[in-house]
Chain A
Amino acid sequence: MIKAILIFNNHGKPRLSKFYEHYSEDTEQQIIRETFHLVSKRDENVCNFLEGGMLIGGSDYRLIYRHYATLYFVFCVDSSESELGILDLIQVFVETLDKCFENVCELDLIFHVDKVHNILAEMVMGGMVLETNMNEIITQVDSQNKMEKSEVLTG
């Protein structure tokens, strides 16, 4: 099960935070800060798996992260998920964002955070991987956006 998905930049500012278990607002912010500390200390040439911090769970949880330009994509998962599989999932997520936003960059994520949530909702649901096929995800997201647009037009 995936416990949390976090995207933050090189300075630790959160760009997306999705928790699949309930924490208080303060705890959520602490988790983001702690994760940033752990991940930003990592060298470029070490492996992408980390034992999690104190707040986000015990020994069963690990952080799997990828660093793209100015953004860190971090998934906090337990042992029921395959580590290599999650790495691939992050890759699929980023590629999907790329397709949806056309050469996605950090500003896109900042100004369209609701859209990112919608895309993520098509991939991961309730902490479990829902869909991994990029085309399928994009099709669904497009139909939903169309529906929303048509609603606006009809009032």
Chain B
Amino acid sequence: MSPSVPLQEMIRAIRSARTQCEERGVIQRECAAIRAQFRQADNGGRSHNLAKLLYVHMLGYPAHFGQMECVRMIASPRYSEKRVGYLGAMMLLDEKQDASLLITNSIKNDLAHSNQYVQSLALCTLACMGSAEMCRDLAPEIDRLLRASNSYIKKKAALCAVHIVRKVHELGELFAPAARSLLSEKNHGVLHGAVVLIIELCERNPETLERFRKTVPDLVQIMKGLVLSGYSPEHDVAGISDPFLQVRILRLLRILGRNNEGASDAMNDLLAQVATNTDSTKTVGNAVLYETVLTVLDIKSESGLRVLAVNILGRFLLNNDRNIRYIAMTSLQKIVGTDHNAVQRHRGTIVDCLKDQDASVKRRALELSLALVSASNIRSMMKELLLFLSSCPPELRAHAASGIFNAAERYAPSQRWHIDTMLHVLITAGGDVRDETVPNLIQLITNASELHCYTVHKLYRALLADISQQSLVQVACWCIGEYGDLLLRGDCQETEPVQVTEDDALDALETVLQSHMSSPATRGFALTATMKLSTRITDNVDRIRSIVSIYGSCIDVELQQRAVEYNALFKKYDHMRYAMKNYGRIRVTFTEPRFEYMCSHCLLLPLSVGGLKVCDLLDLLGGSEETLQPSPAFGGTAPGPSVNTAGGDLLDLLGGLELTPLAPGVTLRVTHTHTHTTDPVPVYDKGGVTLTLSCEKQSDTGLTVTLTASNATDSDISSFTLQAAVPKSVQLHMKAPSGDSLPARGTAKVTQMVVLNNPNKVNLKMRVRVSYTRLGSAFQDTVQIDSFPGLDAAGR
């Protein structure tokens, strides 16, 4: 009976099982029967059993007990058994199993078999799972077959050689001459295998690549034959003669012509011919054209040819077949950097593809459009991009929004346009923008001082319309708080005048505060804005006071803390509130709302510590005349009772706070001219860990020392601690370190501040003990610091 019937019976039995459990039962029974059969000596139906086992393997059940049976079957003289055996070997064996070594000998014998189909089985298996040793053993055999056999075997030997070269790179040299001679074969299968082999050899070894450059004329000849010959029935696929071979040869030409003038020149004509003669109405034609375009763009082709190639891609963009559009855009994306002008010509089509239904096509179109934005087309492109943003799929929104922001930043023709665009994006896709957008927008608005009135009006209107987009609401609240007086003044040249009363403004802010759609951060913005308005309006201060006091018992701890402190400002320090008005605008540009809050907190602390007069405070703040620039620096924890400073030295407070980062890209640097910090001096450098020291004289006897540690080794350091000891009469206070882990290669540092007080003015020395854990073992070391920068030899 036919070998397949028992297999089919088993398949039928498996399929009739109605549940997974039943199926498992059937398969277990069958596997047990197969195992028993394997153990028996020779029986007639061996190939069926192995075939059944392979089917079971495909369904996902374990089949490793069949490995030895594969080895036995391969050694059998019968073709049917060999066939199943080799198939089993390909499915069950790999180089890690010992059994694979056992078949090496069988393969060797079969390679020399008289029957070409047996040879082909051996070649196939070797190419699929041959290990490096097997390849080394059998390489000479393969080389022999490459030269002297029929075309059926030659083409298989060629691909087998590719596998061998992949496993054992040095054997490439062995096959190069044979590969060269195969190019003169007529059989397309052999030619195809030869080209694949040559591609593999050239990619592995640049010298081989050099040698094979000489074959370019031959390859051109072969291509010409394929392209210009008439209809050839055996190779014809939809009117193109062997498109697979054409594509393969074009790929080889690309590799040979890359970075080489001579070779590129030799193929210019041919590429032009293929590009113009190939029929593009069928998929196969498009495959050849596509490969031609890729080759033209990759070699050193003349500019006319490049323009032709880009035009073909442009035509592809208009093709009905989605696949063609997709790959055209992928290629255009690769060349938009180098051939920008050529791609610009197709901008219209690309922008139209933004409206395509396929999400992958839309994604490519978006990336290409963003790459094509330039100063000259920014207005029209932005219109299209904003239109796209309103209807684009949700997974692309974040990418589109950030791309639009980047483009707007680079090419904005005017500030008003820029602000308008950003507002439009926030209104359309506010939920998907990145976190830095809010501070960036606030920064932008602050810098466009002539547009404050216009901006605040626009934002107020947007706020009235929709309070669900958090980023928009945050920006709007901030603006109303900051420029509330402009809003209330009513007149504005750029928009239609609308009368906004103080109650209206407070209504808007209160709606945001009370809405369940507002996130805690948004509420924070709104509360701070309400507070700021208290200095900008005259009639409704009481209302503000009541709003703020309500939040004094809010569940959200941060809001509660803010409300309580703002309340304190109202009650005890009412005269101070007007100073607050100035701190927000002139002295410090806070783009992170938490910092406005922090600053108020900082100001309140010394007030509660006592002993500071109002004018001192203003004086200190007024002392730093320069507008503070936003830049990356320290963030903030809520400074509380852990801060322990001598006296009410405000600047020490601001400079001495160890603040850990709150939010990404926090922007605040307090630059003040009152103290002088010396440059860091290295005091310890061992085992990749370095320690630098800088000093800041606070007073006649007070000194703040900052130790900065960094790790230049390749592994991370944890539990990093510093301990310090000083002479007896010196008072020492160690602040909390910024952290205790030092990542590798100096990506982040740890700082430790030490406050010293040397009332007796003795010679100042400090001993520092460094301890840390690295790669699981603990290290400890001590360093003595005898001289401090900024102090004279006597330590004063």
Closest to A135 in B: B234
Residue B155 contacts which of A22, A118, A131, A135 (CB distance < 8 angstroms)? Answer: A131
A114 touches B322 (CB 8 A): no
Closest to A134 in B: B237
Number of interface residues of A (CB under 8 A): 49
A113 touches B58 (CB 8 A): yes
Number of interface residues of B (CB under 8 A): 71
Is A104 on the interface with B (CB-CB < 8 A)?
Answer: no
Chain B binding surface, main DSSP class:
helix
A121 to B243, CA, bound (A): 21
Q: Which residues of A contact B160 (CB under 8 A)?
A: 125-126
B243 touches A88 (CB 8 A): yes
Closest to A147 in B: B79
Most buried by B among A16, A82, A89: A82
Chain A binding surface, main DSSP class:
helix
A88 touches B95 (CB 8 A): no
A121 to B91, CA, bound (A): 13
B128 touches A20 (CB 8 A): yes
A126 touches B322 (CB 8 A): no
Is A71 on the interface with B (CB-CB < 8 A)?
Answer: no
- Closest Cβ of chain B to A81, distance in Å, is 9
Is A94 on the interface with B (CB-CB < 8 A)?
Answer: no
A92 to B283, CA, bound (A): 13
Residue B286 contacts which of A84, A114, A136, A144 (CB distance < 8 angstroms)? Answer: A84
Residue A110 contacts which of B11, B60, B96, B156 (CB distance < 8 angstroms)? Answer: B11
A48 to B58, CA, bound (A): 25
A84 to B96, CA, bound (A): 35
Residue B84 contacts which of A25, A114, A131, A143 (CB distance < 8 angstroms)? Answer: A114
Mark out the residues of chain A between 133 and 150 whose CB falls within 8 Å of any chain B CB in the assembled complex.
133, 135-136, 140, 143-144, 147-148
Closest to A84 in B: B287
What sequence of 0s and 1s flags, for each residue 92-104 of chain A, a beta carbon within 8 Å of any chain B beta carbon? Answer: 1000000000000
What sequence of 0s and 1s flags, for each residue 70-102 of chain B, a beta carbon within 8 Å of any chain A beta carbon? Answer: 000000001110011001000000111000000
Say whether, besides A22-B95, A87-B283, A82 and B8 are in contact (CB < 8 Å). no
Is B777 on the interface with A (CB-CB < 8 A)?
Answer: no
Say whether, besides A84-B327, A133-B188, A151-B80, A114 and B283 are in contact (CB < 8 Å). no
- Closest Cβ of chain A to B107, distance in Å, is 14
Mark out the residues of chain A between 26 and 50 whose CB falls within 8 Å of any chain B CB in the assembled complex.
28-29, 45-49
A96 to B387, CA, bound (A): 47
B322 touches A46 (CB 8 A): yes
Most buried by B among A83, A92, A118: A83
B55 touches A25 (CB 8 A): no
B83 touches A45 (CB 8 A): no
Closest to B358 in A: A46
Residue A132 contacts which of B58, B244, B324 (CB distance < 8 angstroms)? Answer: B244
Closest to B197 in A: A128
Q: Which residues of A contact B87 (CB under 8 A)?
A: 114, 117, 121
A132 to B80, CA, bound (A): 25
B247 touches A85 (CB 8 A): yes
Closest to A124 in B: B159
- Closest Cβ of chain A to B185, distance in Å, is 14
Q: Which residues of B contact A25 (CB under 8 A)?
A: 57, 60, 62-63
Residue A47 contacts which of B199, B283, B360 (CB distance < 8 angstroms)? Answer: B360
Is B532 on the interface with A (CB-CB < 8 A)?
Answer: no
Is A54 on the interface with B (CB-CB < 8 A)?
Answer: no
B290 touches A84 (CB 8 A): yes
- Closest Cβ of chain A to B30, distance in Å, is 15
Is A17 on the interface with B (CB-CB < 8 A)?
Answer: yes
Q: Which residues of A contact B124 (CB under 8 A)?
A: 121, 125-126
Is A53 on the interface with B (CB-CB < 8 A)?
Answer: no
B244 touches A89 (CB 8 A): yes
Q: Which residues of A contact B318 (CB under 8 A)?
A: none
Is B489 on the interface with A (CB-CB < 8 A)?
Answer: no
A148 touches B155 (CB 8 A): no
What sequence of 0s and 1s flags, for each residue 48-74 of chain B, a beta carbon within 8 Å of any chain A beta carbon? Answer: 000100110111101100000000000
A26 to B114, CA, bound (A): 39
Is A152 on the interface with B (CB-CB < 8 A)?
Answer: yes
Is B661 on the interface with A (CB-CB < 8 A)?
Answer: no
A48 to B55, CA, bound (A): 29
Q: Which residues of B contact A128 (CB under 8 A)?
A: 127, 159, 162, 196
A85 to B248, CA, bound (A): 10
Q: Which residues of B contact A131 (CB under 8 A)?
A: 155, 189, 192
Is B326 on the interface with A (CB-CB < 8 A)?
Answer: yes
Q: Which residues of A contact B94 (CB under 8 A)?
A: 22
A41 to B270, CA, bound (A): 42
Is B117 on the interface with A (CB-CB < 8 A)?
Answer: yes
Q: Which residues of A contact B55 (CB under 8 A)?
A: 113
Residue B129 contacts which of A22, A129, A140, A148 (CB distance < 8 angstroms)? Answer: A22
Is B2 on the interface with A (CB-CB < 8 A)?
Answer: yes
B290 touches A82 (CB 8 A): yes
B7 touches A46 (CB 8 A): no
A53 to B141, CA, bound (A): 39
B286 touches A133 (CB 8 A): no
Is B204 on the interface with A (CB-CB < 8 A)?
Answer: no
Say whether, besides A45-B358, A144-B117, A151-B78, A84 and B193 are in contact (CB < 8 Å). no
A46 touches B117 (CB 8 A): no
Is B361 on the interface with A (CB-CB < 8 A)?
Answer: yes
Residue B323 contacts which of A14, A47, A112, A132 (CB distance < 8 angstroms)? Answer: A47
Mark out the residues of chain B between 14 and 61 whose CB falls within 8 Å of any chain A CB in the assembled complex.
15, 51, 54-55, 57-60
A28 to B129, CA, bound (A): 16
Residue B54 contacts which of A14, A45, A114, A132 (CB distance < 8 angstroms)? Answer: A114
Is B152 on the interface with A (CB-CB < 8 A)?
Answer: yes
B83 touches A85 (CB 8 A): no
B323 touches A87 (CB 8 A): yes
Mark out the residues of chain B between 339 and 359 whose CB falls within 8 Å of any chain A CB in the assembled complex.
357-359
Interface CB pairs A-B, < 8 A, 5: A17-B58, A49-B360, A80-B251, A88-B243, A151-B79
User: Which 7 residue pairs of A and B lie closest in terms of their CB atoms, listed nearest first?
Assistant: A126-B127, A84-B287, A22-B94, A29-B60, A132-B244, A47-B322, A47-B326
Given contacts A114-B7, A133-B235, 4 further A-B contacts (CB under 8 A): A45-B358, A82-B291, A84-B327, A112-B4
- Identify the A interface with B (CB < 8 A): 14, 16-17, 20, 22, 25, 28-29, 45-49, 80, 82-85, 87-89, 92, 110-115, 117-118, 121, 125-133, 135-136, 140, 143-144, 147-148, 151-152
